[in-house]
Amino acid sequence: MVTGGSRGLGREMVLALATAGADVVIASRKQQNCEELAEEVRSTTGRRALPVGCHVGRWDDLGALADTAYAEFGRVDVLVNNAGMSPLYPDVGSITEDLWDKVLDVNLKGPFRLTALVGPRMQRDGGGSIINVSSVASFHPKPDVVPYAAAKAGVNAITQAFAHAFGPSVRVNCIVPGTFLTDISKAWDLDAFAEEAKGFALERGGEPHEIVGTVLYLASDASSYTTGALLRVDGGYV
């Protein structure tokens, strides 16, 4: 199950997991986008794909998502809490309560609630892997992403807490991505970004497919002795 699974890094994760042999639940706010990707998964990999429209910032939507997945497949072996958002604002004084709540709801409340729903069922079924997606902003917060950075720092914390709560049969880890050139990067000033990226060890942004190896590692038994980990995939951002 991948939230935010219809576009960006989530889309790459869905396709990689299906190619590796997984049946997939694709969750995202726009049902149509989920359905289009589900059809692509079926036609290119032959795996089963269940599209589910879901707003991960809404508590009750997550209960429905979990119930739908279990009704269709009977179990969830891998959960990827990938959905996220980081709206722009002119300065920290202009951050409204509504913006703060929306960002915390999607980026922190959603992963908490879905993990709390799925983790115990994974324990009941003999185990599983939960993969949260954080951000380097959680380690190096800047003024333009204050709510987002705060939420992702919370994701880091709940990753480690849930690893203890659901161990030893369920592993809970966190990918901490740097800057990836997904569809949202089309709106950036890429010349300015290229200058900024000179400070990265790899001197560039990541391509979406470059998240795949980390996801497959954490989803599989290759990471059988890894839990509670915060794994940076950031091109040497720091």
Phi, psi (deg, nearest 5) at residue 98: -65, -45
- Tens-level pLDDT at each residue, the chain (238 residues): 999 999 999 999 999 999 999 999 999 999 999 999 999 999 999 999 999 999 999 999 999 999 999 999 999 999 999 999 999 999 999 999 999 999 999 999 999 999 999 999 999 999 999 999 999 999 999 999 999 999 999 999 999 999 999 999 999 999 999 989 887 766 677 778 888 889 899 999 899 999 999 999 999 999 999 999 999 999 998 7
Q: How many residues does the chain have?
A: 238
Query: What's the structural domain count of the chain?
Result: 1
222 closest CA partner among 129, 160, 156:
129
* Cβ–Cβ under 8 Å, residues 61 and 112: no
Range of the domain at 195: 2-233
Residue 33 domain-assigned (yes or no): yes
Residue 238 domain-assigned (yes or no): no
Residue 72 domain-assigned (yes or no): yes
Residue 182 domain-assigned (yes or no): yes
Residue 62 domain-assigned (yes or no): yes
Q: Which residues are tagged catalytic?
A: 148
Residue 105 domain-assigned (yes or no): yes
Residue 35 domain-assigned (yes or no): yes
H/E run at residue 122: helix 110-124
* Cβ–Cβ under 8 Å, residues 102 and 85: yes
pTM score: 0.95
The CATH code of the domain that includes 23 is 3.40.50.720
Report the C-alpha gap between 92 and 94 in whole angstroms. 5
Residue 38 domain-assigned (yes or no): yes
